[in-house]
Structure 1
Amino acid sequence: MWKAIKPNYRNLRVYQVLVLLIFFFIWHLATRNPQTAFFFGEPIKVLQRVWQWFTVGSGSLEVGFGDHTWFTLTFPAEIYSHLLITLSETMLAFGIGTVFGLGVGLWLALSPLTSAILDPYIKASNAMPRVILAPIFAMWFGLGIWSKVALAVTLVFFIVFFNVYQGVKEVSPVVLANARMLGANQRQLLRTVYLPSATSWVFSSLHTSVGLAFVGVIVGEYLGSARGVGYLILQAEGAFDINTVFAGILVLTAFALVLDTVVGMIEKRLMKWQPKSGETERL
């Protein structure tokens, strides 16, 4: 009997779900007191709010640029438009931050003098808390998606930049010497040696980059926005609706897990050439 229920990798999911159920049960017992429920919410009402978000009402989202609307998307519930906004901001921030981080990282890694000149400013910028930039971006770009994208880009950029910089520095001198011996010029070295080395480091940091893009977007939405899941949480906080706040946190957590799973699948596909941990080359 004990062997059947003993925790192992076969029944791992069962125990993971069991831990979640125990957590909700303890939460339910602890919040039966109305005073406690005011601060910590009630799990049943939180789940009811999540259910209402995904089943009740309808939502729409105008897609365009500036004052011009190209088309309007309609959704079976309002939460989908907020999720789409948050996802769009996250993907834009990740893409822009990755491109800029890759370009600047390659440039400074291949230009030692320029890197030495800009080194203190890069370190100072990286050490600066990026949250303080949110009001500035809101003034520059308004409360639309671009102020959130800009804030998240500042988080993604440095992760990609330092990975690319380190990836270029880690290129084997033997590989460079062999490539030069075969007649490769600087442009060919960049395309066939430096860039593959840098992109492999970028792929290995996909989880961190996408995660920081997501965090930056949510913080930006929370500090000032007109749409997004962070906006829903901010509105609920202003109304002292703790159940809706926890519902927003629950939705964001599930959304982040789905995003992390997708990133893991992409990373596994892109990095399938990389040997597994502990794997040795076969002779």
Structure 2
Amino acid sequence: MSEMTDPTLLQRLGLRLLRLLLLLLPGAILILFWQWASGRLIATLYVSKPTDIAARFYEMFASGEIQPHIMITLQELVLGYCIGVGVGVVAGYLLGRSPRAAAIFEPYVMAFYGIPKIALAPLFIIWFGIGLWSKVALAATMVFFLVFYNVYVGVRNVDRELLNLARIMGAGESQLTRHVYFPAAAPFVIMGMRMAIPYSVIGVIVGEFTSSVKGLGLFINQASSTYDPAGVFAGIALLLMFIVVANAVAGQLEKRLLRWRPAINTERSEI
């Protein structure tokens, strides 16, 4: 029997196809209802039709109107996210490894964490101007606290008996970091990174709403001020694409970093 006619393989493909259809079904129903309701239950001035949004989407790319905004927002997102994750991982690890330092600095971190990050946008614009770096700073700040606390908790929760056993066997600090702390804290790191993705988008868009030369936030703001709901929804759809792609990349990274964990067999689970 050939591989393509293997009943087990066909069953797995059928289950995957069924899961994909179940995943897409609510979205398809929502879009169909939206198309029907727009103009009937609510004026298209407030909620544009999906077909109008698709047409506006095509127009934006065909005219080259949206590409400069996408490039600026992507740069801000990538820089802000990477800086926030990097600083959050280092700070969370160092504070988690040092109980004395944690006792001193944790209250200050908590105090800064309680500040609404949106309130920092005008301050960052004063410091860094209306260009790219004020948005990067705001996004990095929002990402930092989420990653920091997840890494901090992950490091603090490492099994002390495992640490003592590793030290008895002669493990140095670098070996403890690589073979004990990192594997134990990796799920917390990944969780913080995934949670921070939408917050980095929020930080960038809020910064662009406040003051910007280019960017998707500026595009959405201008579309709103000119009563262009199709443009607003098209810009929001682009932001959703960013989040979906970033989550997919984070999911692949999670599989690589946590490949030592036993895999959960989902093929036999009920749908």
Aligned to 1:92: 79
What residue identity is the alignment partner of 2:34?
A: W
Over 3 Å counting, the alpha-carbon distance change for 1:178 and 1:34 in structure 2 is: closer
Query: 1:137 Cα deviation (Å)?
Result: 0.7
Q: Distance in 2 between matches of 1:15 and 1:190?
A: 42
Over 3 Å counting, the alpha-carbon distance change for 1:34 and 1:189 in structure 2 is: closer
Aligned to 1:240: 227
**Percent identity (aligned):** 38
Q: Distance in 2 between matches of 1:10 and 1:278?
A: 17
1:169 is aligned, of 133, 156, 159, to 156
CA contact (8 A) 1:156 1:213 kept: yes
Say whether 1:19 aligns with 2:6.
no
After TM superposition, the structure 1 stretch with the greater mean CA deviation from structure 2, 151-160 or 39-48, is: 39-48
1:159-209 Cα deviation digits (max 9, x unpaired): 111122112212222222122223344455445433443345313433212
Equivalent pairs, count: 253
2:103 is aligned, of 90, 94, 116, to 116
What residue identity is the alignment partner of 2:119?
A: I
2:209 is aligned, of 207, 215, 222, to 222
Counterpart secondary structure, 2:32: helix
Counterpart secondary structure, 1:143: coil
Counterpart secondary structure, 2:223: helix
- Which residues of structure 2 form unaligned runs of 5+? 1-13, 267-271
Query: 1:84 Cα deviation (Å)?
Result: 2.2
Aligned to 1:107: 94
Query: 4+ residue stretches of structure 1 with deviation over 6 A?
Result: none
1:20-61 Cα deviation digits (max 9, x unpaired): 3332332223222597111112322211110111222xxxxx
What residue identity is the alignment partner of 1:26?
A: F
What residue identity is the alignment partner of 1:139?
A: I
Aligned to 2:269: none
Q: Distance in 1 between matches of 2:36 and 2:183?
A: 55
Q: Give TM-score, length-normalised by structure 1.
A: 0.79
Aligned to 2:11: none
Give 1 or 2: higher helix fraction: 2
Aligned to 1:39: 46
After TM superposition, the structure 1 stretch with the greater mean CA deviation from structure 2, 124-133 or 30-39, is: 30-39
CA contact (8 A) 1:130 1:155 kept: yes
What residue identity is the alignment partner of 1:206?
A: M
Q: Distance in 1 between matches of 2:254 and 2:87?
A: 20
Q: Distance in 2 between matches of 1:128 and 1:37?
A: 38
Query: 1:141 Cα deviation (Å)?
Result: 0.9
CA contact (8 A) 1:50 1:251 kept: no
Q: How much is the aligned-residue C-alpha RMSD, in angstroms?
A: 2.6
Give 1 or 2: higher strand fraction: 1
CA contact (8 A) 2:197 2:243 kept: no
Q: Distance in 2 between matches of 1:167 and 1:138?
A: 34
The 5 Å alignment of 1:123-162 reads: 123-162=110-149
2:250 is aligned, of 263, 272, 277, to 263
Specify which structure has the bigger relative contact order, considering alpha-carbon pairs within 8 angstroms and separated by 6 or more residues: 2
Over 3 Å counting, the alpha-carbon distance change for 1:142 and 1:184 in structure 2 is: same
